[in-house]
Structure 1
Amino acid sequence: MCQLLGMNCNVPTDICFSFEGFSARGGKTDDHSDGWGIAFFEGKGCRLFLDAKPSIDSPLAELVRRYPIHSTHVIAHIRKATQGKIALENCHPFRRELWGRYWVFAHNGNLPDFHPENHGIFQPVGDTDSEKAFCLILNTLRNNFPKGKPPLRLLYPVLREITAELGSLGIFNYLLSDGEHFFTHCSTKLCYIIRQAPFAAAHLIDEEMTVDFSELTTPSDRVAVIATTPLTDNEFWTPIQPGEILVFQDGLPINFE
């Protein structure tokens, strides 16, 4: 299946180190070679890079690996297709506008019997179960809160309910963000690490690369990295429990369970 990578932090930070290891899984150290994508929130704006080529062979991925875009919310995805042809319109992450903000979504899993009726303004462009699920989530949120984004304490139960409904249909690991809150749902496999002072060196699993974060950060920096499986072999990654939705803000998880 696909793999996910996310970052949430309290100050704008680049994801070059993590993306170096993650993108290697798109055809070099793993077989997720059916396209890739990454989204960076910058204020209310959102840069979105997509390519149907394997990330290890994509010139666009090489640009992202070398271009230190600073963001507090990043979502990346490498695809191993289960539904939908290999094409640009089926590459994650997907992006839509809701309540005057961009929302970005990426999914790892498979919903084999998911054939929703198209109710609402959000419609899929491609033919993946993932984009259909994203549109259903946004239509549900908009229908429940037509006047605008509600406080998190009201939004969270609605998101949890629709997530449980979709999760009952198959494997439904996802990352979702509007640039203000960063939502993660674990169906089978997802983990995270919080990097904060005192910072130390980290070594990638998929590439021979080590970075000493103490040389690149300030004592007040805090970064959460979320991934399908750990990206480094000398740090402790915390598993997210199946069925759990975590909300990250300023590099820390908020557990509403």
Structure 2
Amino acid sequence: MCQLLGLNCATPTDASFSFTGFCQRGGNTDHHADGWGIAFFEGKGLRLFVDHESASQSPMAEFLQRYPLKSRNIIAHVRKATIGEVALENAHPFVRELWGRHWVFAHNGDLKDYFPPLHGHFRPVGTTDSERAFCWLMQELAKSHASLPDVHELTLTLRELIPQVRRFGTFNFLLSNGEALWAHCSTKLHWLVRQHPFAQATLMDRDWTVNFAELNHPGDRAAVVVTTPLTSNEQWAAFEPDELKVFMDGLPVG
């Protein structure tokens, strides 16, 4: 299956360290070599990079590891194709507009025979079960709220919608509108918060140690969500099965 990486931060933060380790899983230290992507929110704007090449070999991924784009919400994905061919249109994350905002979604898992009724503005471009699920979530959110609700109301609605998708199979996902990061675990997700007093972290997939105390200020803080822990010397917490967490300003809020 695929792997997920998400960051939700109190201040604009670059993902170079986490993304560098994560990319190695796209065909080097793991077998997720069927495409990759990463999305950076920037105010109301969005920078989206996707590729059908493996992340460990992609020149664009190598560039982004060295180019420190800063964002408060970042979602990345490395793909192991199971449903849908290896093609650019099937690379996660996927993006849609709702209520005048970008929404970004990435999924890990298989949804068997999942073809929900899609009768509104949201239609898949590719052939993945993941994009169909995203379109359905966006469709149902739009039906449930006339305008952009607050994060608490969105979370309540998502809690009602997720089981309707989850019954078709594995539904680990990350979702963000640039304000918050929602993370749902059906089988495997881990998270931590990096904050003052910062410490050293060592990647598991590449020989690189960073002392975050030298790079951050006391007000900086970042929540990191990933399928499998990225570092060997930090305390990662596992999600419970079928748990939905929402992160804002680098902290879990629900």
1:34 aligns with 2:39: no
- Structure-2 residue corresponding to 1:66: 66
Counterparts in 2 of 1:10-29, with a 5 A limit?
Answer: 10-29=10-29
* Letter in structure 1 aligned against 2:246: V
CA distance in 2, matches of 1:249, 1:157: 16
- Structure-2 residue corresponding to 1:127: 127
Deviation at 1:120, TM superposition (A): 1.3
CA distance in 2, matches of 1:73, 1:41: 6
Residue deviations 1:18-64 (CA, integer Å, cap 9, x gap): 00100000010000000000000000000000000000110110111
Counterparts in 2 of 1:209-224, with a 5 A limit?
Answer: 209-224=208-223
Q: Give structure 1 regions of 4+ aligned residues with deviation exceeding 6 angstroms.
A: none
- Structure-2 residue corresponding to 1:232: 231
* Letter in structure 2 aligned against 1:142: A
Secondary structure at 2:9 match in 1:
strand
Deviation at 1:156, TM superposition (A): 1.6
Deviation at 1:117, TM superposition (A): 2.1
* Letter in structure 2 aligned against 1:200: A
Deviation at 1:102, TM superposition (A): 0.1
* Letter in structure 1 aligned against 2:64: V
Secondary structure at 2:131 match in 1:
helix
- Structure-1 residue corresponding to 2:178: 179
Counterparts in 2 of 1:188-203, with a 5 A limit?
Answer: 188-203=187-202
Deviation at 1:162, TM superposition (A): 1.1
- Structure-1 residue corresponding to 2:162: 163
1:89 aligns with 2:89: yes
Say whether the 8 Å CA contact 2:8–2:250 is kept in structure 1.
yes
CA distance in 2, matches of 1:220, 1:180: 18
Counterparts in 2 of 1:38-57, with a 5 A limit?
Answer: 38-57=38-57
CA distance in 2, matches of 1:138, 1:75: 17
Residue deviations 1:80-106 (CA, integer Å, cap 9, x gap): 011000000000000010000000000
Report which stretch shifted further, 156-165 or 102-111: 156-165
Secondary structure at 1:113 match in 2:
coil
CA distance in 2, matches of 1:3, 1:16: 17
CA distance in 2, matches of 1:151, 1:22: 31
Indicate the RMSD between aligned Cα atoms, in angstroms: 0.7
Structure 1: runs of 5+ lacking an equivalent: none
* Letter in structure 1 aligned against 2:43: G
CA distance in 1, matches of 2:74, 2:152: 23
Residue deviations 1:153-182 (CA, integer Å, cap 9, x gap): 322221111111111110000000000111
- Structure-2 residue corresponding to 1:8: 8
Residue deviations 1:132-152 (CA, integer Å, cap 9, x gap): 000000000001112x11122
* Letter in structure 2 aligned against 1:150: P
CA distance in 1, matches of 2:176, 2:158: 12
Report which stretch shifted further, 185-194 or 154-163: 154-163
Identity %: 57
Secondary structure at 2:141 match in 1:
helix
With structure 1 as the length reference, what TM-score do the two structures score?
0.98
- Structure-2 residue corresponding to 1:80: 80
For this pair of structures, how many residues does the alignment match?
Answer: 254
CA distance in 1, matches of 2:56, 2:153: 41
With structure 2 as the length reference, what TM-score do the two structures score?
0.99
Secondary structure at 1:170 match in 2:
coil
Say whether the 8 Å CA contact 2:118–2:139 is kept in structure 1.
no
Secondary structure at 2:192 match in 1:
strand
Secondary structure at 1:63 match in 2:
helix
